[in-house]
Amino acid sequence: MGITVELIRLCQRGSTNAQMQLYRHCYSRLLGVCRRYENLDHDAGALFNSGFFKVLKGLPRHEFQSEEGFMLWARRVIINDMIDMYRRTRKHHALNMPTDFTGVHVEHGTSDLNAGELGLDAEYLLELINSLPEIQRQVFNLHAIDDYPHKEIAKILGMTEGTSKWYLSEARKALRKKLAAFEKRNITTIKI
């Protein structure tokens, strides 16, 4: 049994059993979102727990007609909670962060590499993304995966739009380089 409208209504009424059931369903589906923003599993779990608490707090103010509608909303709440947490701690992360890259040329190339052809799995791709410097990872996740526009990313992370674009470009370059190294390593080991 998945997330039903009735389960959501029971949670809205404060049923702790229903809330625990909802937690289990959401955990398995939304932990991956948190893992994109945090390298360590226990940190990703802590992010999920914090976000899920906000989901439960906001639940009574919303009406859901489907599981899909609820999941989209819950995902957004959890992402916004992670962003808020990042804002609260950003002074620790921003030691040498450039402030403005407006006017810096941003490369918009694409890679010829195909993850399926290379035999990459989702875990390895997640490791590649998590190996990026934190600010690049944040911008990459928000733009490339969570579909935030640069204008919104700039506002969220307290930077200019140009800086957001630059960080995305740097993240893409780093990922292309790592994928090329992976491809080269695999080609040399597969030769017969």
8-state DSSP, 61:
G
Sorted by sequence, the CB contacts under 8 Å of residue 177 that are 6+ apart come out as none
- Taking the model in full, what pTM does it have? 0.61
* pLDDT computed for residue 121 by the predictor: 63
Do residues 153 and 80 make contact, with C-beta atoms less than 8 angstroms apart?
Answer: no
Q: How many CB atoms lie within 10 A of CB 136?
A: 21
Exposure on the CB side of residue 24, measured as CA atoms within 13 A: 8
Retrieve residue 135's tokens: 């600010």
* pLDDT computed for residue 90 by the predictor: 65
* pLDDT < 70 regions, the chain: 1, 39, 90-121, 186-192
Sketch out the chain's domains with CATH numbers: 5-93 (1.10.1740.10), 115-190 (1.10.10.10)
* pLDDT computed for residue 162 by the predictor: 93
